[in-house]
Amino acid sequence: MKHLALGLLFFIACNALGQMIEQKEGLGKRVVKPSSVNMTAPATKAETTQVLVKMTGVIQKLIQKKGFKSGLVNGPGSATRDEVLTEFHRLFEFAQPSFRRQPTMLTVNTKRFKVIRKNFEIAKTLTEWNFVAPFGPLVSGSKPTLSRRQLGDAVGYFLTRLADLTHSPSHKFSPDLSGN
- Using CA atoms, how far apart are residues 96 and 133, in angstroms rounded to an integer? 18
Taking the mean position of all CA atoms in its chain, how far away is CA 11? 37
Please give the model's pTM, rounded to 2 decimal places.
Answer: 0.74
> Could you write out the DSSP letters of every residue in 13-65?
HHHHHHHHHHHHHTTT--SS-GGGS-TTSBPBHHHHHHHHHHHHHHHHHHHT-
Each residue's pLDDT expressed in tens, for the chain with a length of 180 residues? 554 444 444 455 445 545 655 555 555 555 555 567 788 888 989 888 888 888 888 888 888 888 777 777 777 888 899 999 999 999 999 999 988 888 888 898 888 888 888 888 999 999 999 999 988 899 888 899 999 999 999 999 999 999 888 887 777 877 776 554
Cα gap 85→92, rounded to integer Å: 10
